Amino acid sequence: MAAQYELLKELLNSGTTLSFGQNFFFKFYQAFILKDRWLQYINGVGTTLLVTAIALALGIVLGSVVALVRVAHDQQRPGRRNPVLGFFNAVCQVYTTIIRGTPMMVQLLIMSMVIFANSRNFTMVGALALGINSGAYVSEIIRGGLMAVDPGQMESDAPWLKDLKQYSYANGTWTATDTAWTWKNGSTYHVIELPITGDYRYGSINRSTARSYSFTYNYANKNTLQCVNIGTSWAAKLTKIEENKPEIKLQDAYFALYSPVEADQMTKDACSALLVTKKPDLTYEDENGTKWYLKSVVKTDANGTLTWAGLSESEYRYVEVQAPNGYNLDSTVRKVTRPTGGGTASVSVTNRPGYNLPETGGIGTWPFMTAGLLLTGTALALLLKKRKTNN
């Protein structure tokens, strides 16, 4: 091969054009065989594999540590944050943001020409730079995987809670399966009560009224969850009586009921159709700025009573919007609250005999004011005319 290479070299020097096969052999021999240059390629492959192995190991270790720090910080319960863990989490966030946000070549130049400018071991400097770069991406991959695991998929040998079963949902119905629910010691779980039927609704879990309750499972201790349900169906009964004469019950007194839930609000058309002189406001704000929505308007019967049934919220507001004939209107806004254990809440409102002056909203004061002004103007004109005639 060496003799053939020398022959081809002389032909080139003499100006002879080589064929494709001869030219390929000449260049291959010159690049790989001459002066044992193939050894440099072998050494380069070895260096590449060494840098890859070091960078891979460093990236996995560094990425795992960063991911665990960030996951541990994110899974802390609100109000129980560890400041030390918070500090390391901030450092990890800065690290992943900077490393993933700058080009790899810039990081290599900074490592070789700034941080390790006096080092001649370029292989280790390159491996270190690649490992730090890899760690930022590996940490996000591991963290994303850990955060995506549902807590219910963790395993546990807890002696209690072993009887719990997983449920499947189909066609609006939850059905128990034969698959046991599994837990993991030290994991944080979120409990949400499923919708229930009947005359009860969600109240609280361990005195927390939030819709979701979080707790950390501890294998060594007994974890107790107390879920309170509140009866959803309750009623409010109102009795209208005459002031100082409670034995007299007043009929045809109209009362408006206001709910804290916007979905309960009466439509404008329904409000306009109410058989009351002055239509009640569809909404109003109380002294705390809470908005209330008109739910219904009902009048008292021959016994002076009315009943709002099927109430679900814990508190409502009511106000008289039209008094019986011959009685003054009591426009005080009152509240009625759910009785302990549900049932019916009873309230009473008194009226005193008398009449209210006309108010705006019905016939109003404008007709009376206009008629009074016309009569006054007519009388004044007649008086001036009479004086003029006398003169």
User: Over 13-50, what HEC string results?
Assistant: HCCCCCCHHHHHHHHHHHHHHHHHCHHHHHHHHHHHHH
Question: What pLDDT, on the 0 to 100 scale, is given for residue 159?
Answer: 45
The model's pTM is 0.38
Residue 82 has what pLDDT?
A: 87
Predicted pLDDT of residue 232: 65
Predicted pLDDT at 250: 94
Q: Is 235 in contact with 202 (CB distance < 8 Å)? A: no
- Do the beta carbons of residue 232 and residue 199 sit within 8 Å? yes
User: Nearest 5°: phi and psi at 113?
Assistant: -110, -10
Give me the tens of pLDDT residue by residue for the chain, a chain 391 residues long: 778 877 787 878 888 888 888 888 888 888 878 877 888 888 889 999 999 999 999 999 999 999 999 988 887 766 678 889 999 999 999 999 999 999 999 999 999 899 998 888 889 999 999 999 999 999 999 998 888 765 444 444 444 445 566 677 677 677 778 777 667 778 888 777 766 555 566 778 887 877 778 888 876 666 677 777 766 678 999 999 998 888 999 999 999 999 998 888 999 999 999 989 889 999 999 988 899 999 999 999 999 999 998 888 889 999 999 999 889 999 999 999 988 767 899 999 998 887 554 554 445 566 767 777 888 888 788 878 877 777 6
Q: Calculate ∠ Cα 260-261-262, nearest 5°.
A: 115
Q: How far apart are CA 282 and CA 256, in angstroms?
A: 10
